[in-house]
Amino acid sequence: MQSAKPNSDEEDQLFRLLRQVDRASDVSQRALAAGIGVSLGRLNALLKSATDARLVRISDRNGPDKRQRFTYTLTSRGEAEKIRLTDRFLARKFAEYDALHAELTGTTSNLVPLKHRTIMMENNLAPISELYVSHDSAEKMKFEAAQLPSWDLTARQVCDLELLMNGGFNPLKGFLSQEDYEGVVENMRLADGSLWPMPITLDVPKSFAESVEIGQDIALRDPEGVILAVMSVTDNWAPDKAREAEKVFGADDLAHPAVNYLHNTAGEFYLGGPIIGIQQPMHYDFRARRNTPNELRAYFRKMGWRKVVAFQTRNPLHRAHQELTFRAAKEAQANLLIHPVVGLTKPGDIDHFTRVRCYEAVLDQYPASTTSMSLLNLAMRMAGPREAVWHGLIRKNHGCTHFIVGRDHAGPGNNSQGEDFYGPYDAQDLFRTHEEEMGIKMVDFKHMVYVQDRAQYEPADEIADKDDVTILNISGTELRRRLSEGLEIPEWFSFPAVVEELRRTRPPRAQQGFTVFFTGFSGSGKSTIANALMVKLMEMGGRPTTLLDGDLVRKNLSSELGFSKEHRDLNIRRIGYVASEITKNGGIAICAPIAPYASTRRAVREEIEQFGAFLEVHVATSIEECERRDRKGLYKLAREGKIKEFTGISDPYDVPENPELRIETENTDVDNCAHQVLLKLESMGLIAA
């Protein structure tokens, strides 16, 4: 007697099981069952059936959690069965749609099943795997996740998670395991040998890491507490961050923003494991411009774009960029995708709202129907050569066939010795080495200059008569100077609409908000000079001025804090936040805390420089002079051990290495010190001469 054939519901459940195992083989049984939308009992029956048919292989997993003893992987037979069931599933859904279409309209839809429509398509146009579960499963997991430990993601982690879930980070199925992490750090390879140059890790503080067991599920939430995904923790370890900095970024140098983040912002422990996506992060800005990899691939299919060259940018586009990208697309005989990063970029970059308005102003300059723009919610690491390869893989996942790699691509600027972190062509060289394996072609970035005699842009290295013509160019530094001083920006350099947007966001420096940040020992004279400066600036008028004195902030904003390093950092960050809001709204913030730690001062600088200028003033009074001036007897009490954690006595002070201004107060009166600050502000263009 023949066994009964499985019905469509059973077949669908098997299809979803094979698909889920292929996506995330290491998830817990509970997460696997929720992803498929079945009970644990039904999951066990499905797994038994699949293993009996040799579609799924079950392996033991070493670990302390007895609830997570197994890992599931597809066999080659299982992979083939998944493909077969995918075709049957699609055919059935197309048939259901066709029947509904006929019932409503009286005609057939004429749609051909996806298998037949895509068989002749280029690989870059076929759908890519995502990590999301169905809507029904997502609703069920949201309910169950209320009982799970939660981790509120940082801004960078939200960017990473979004690209994990939507396939932008394919082939990753979650945050890297320790084995994958070590392979990526050492040789840009996952444990299975796949090329991947950037560690994608879930960094958490030690306290949270110690509360999580191997095999446990955790809910990943955005900063507002909205659940985005469930992660099954397979690895929990303390990384060698110095080694990561050396291998990934080329040097363990805090001048590199990603290295500084690694040591001073990221958590001490990493968690690894597969994720199941529940919903994508919500973006309220430029929603029509945000596309997942599959949405872009569908758009390319609809438009008939077989070749697409992507342009990565985190800066506004000017005429040279428009000419460069147009030439690159023409050279590759491809359409053009402007694909700017709107996640986290380099501290001090122009905000993405302004940049996107600038990009939209430029789109009309391209021939109709040849160019599109989509926003990429990526957290850049500024890792130069590795970042170029990473960007290429991400663009390949988004359906692009070509990628423009620039000179010093994703370079962070100068290191601690004042030299570039990476060579000008290191990124192009590394990309070229892996180009064939990546499956996306590199288009060299050509340095475009304006030839006045011919009134056109040309590649600098292709101008044969360069000694006989007038070549014009404006550097980024010169552009910023012209903007800050309100000087003319010629039309040959940029589009009037772009300049108008930049001027709206970046008015002349004498009209911008800024922060003056005094730092020095207790008793060095910071507060006295800050008060004198405030009076002088208020006398000049024009902008509201606020003094955030260390003692006053301690009294009114941080009264509950002590003097441990953690509390000192928190106090300075509060001051920095208030100063950044004042600066953003065009005011002047004068801060006068001790601020003993260089890493915290740097974090405050980065926060404020998003909105305006930051002037660090080191009041360099010696500790001996501060003790001599001490009217409150604090130094005496600290020497006697009656005051703990006192800066300069029992707690360290990181002397600023490169402040904008260093003031010696011994043998110098207060008025003269305040006048030195005014002169510096004038030289920086922040106040009118």
Q: Give the span between the Cα atoms of 510 and 444, in whole angstroms.
A: 40
Please indicate whether residue 315 is annotated as part of the active site. yes
Count of CB atoms within 10 A of residue 254's CB? Answer: 18
Q: Give the span between the Cα atoms of 12 and 341, in whole angstroms.
A: 38
Residue 553 identity: V
Contact in structure between 109 and 98 (CB atoms under 8 Å): yes
Q: Give the span between the Cα atoms of 177 and 69, in whole angstroms.
A: 17
Backbone angles phi, psi at 236, to 5 degrees: -150, 110
Q: Judging by DSSP bridges, how do beta strands 613-619 and 514-519 pair with one another?
A: parallel
- Catalytic position from the list 315, 354, 370, 546: 315
Nearest by Cα to 26 from 59, 66, 75: 59
Q: Give the span between the Cα atoms of 276 and 335, in whole angstroms.
A: 34
CB within 8 Å of 538: residues ≥ 6 apart: 545
> Using only C-alpha atoms, what is the Rg of the chain?
29
Angle between helix 29-36 and 8-23 (nearest 10): 130
CB within 8 Å of 16: residues ≥ 6 apart: 35, 36, 37
DSSP string across 216-277: -EEEEE-TT--EEEEEE--EEE---HHHHHHHHHSS--TTSHHHHHHHHTS-SEEEEEEEEE
Distance set, CA 185 to CA 180, 261, 325 (Å)? 9, 17, 33
Q: Give the span between the Cα atoms of 193 and 507, in whole angstroms.
A: 51
Helix (H, G, I), strand (E, B) or coil at 207: helix
Distance set, CA 211 to CA 30, 140, 269 (Å)? 20, 25, 12
Longest dimension (CA), the chain: 106
Beta bridge partners of 441: 402
Contact in structure between 506 and 484 (CB atoms under 8 Å): yes
- Catalytic position from the list 297, 314, 357, 386: 314
Residue 265 identity: T
Backbone angles phi, psi at 610, to 5 degrees: -65, -25
- Sign, Cα dihedral of 684, 686, 687, 689: positive
Q: Judging by DSSP bridges, how do beta strands 545-549 and 235-237 pair with one another?
A: unpaired
Distance of CA 269 to the CA centre of its chain: 19
- Catalytic position from the list 291, 313, 401, 571: 313
Nearest by Cα to 397 from 123, 40, 34, 84: 123
DSSP string across 303-314: HT-S-EEEEEES
Which helix (H) or strand (E) segment holds residue 589: the answer is strand 588-592
The residues annotated as belonging to the active site are 313-315
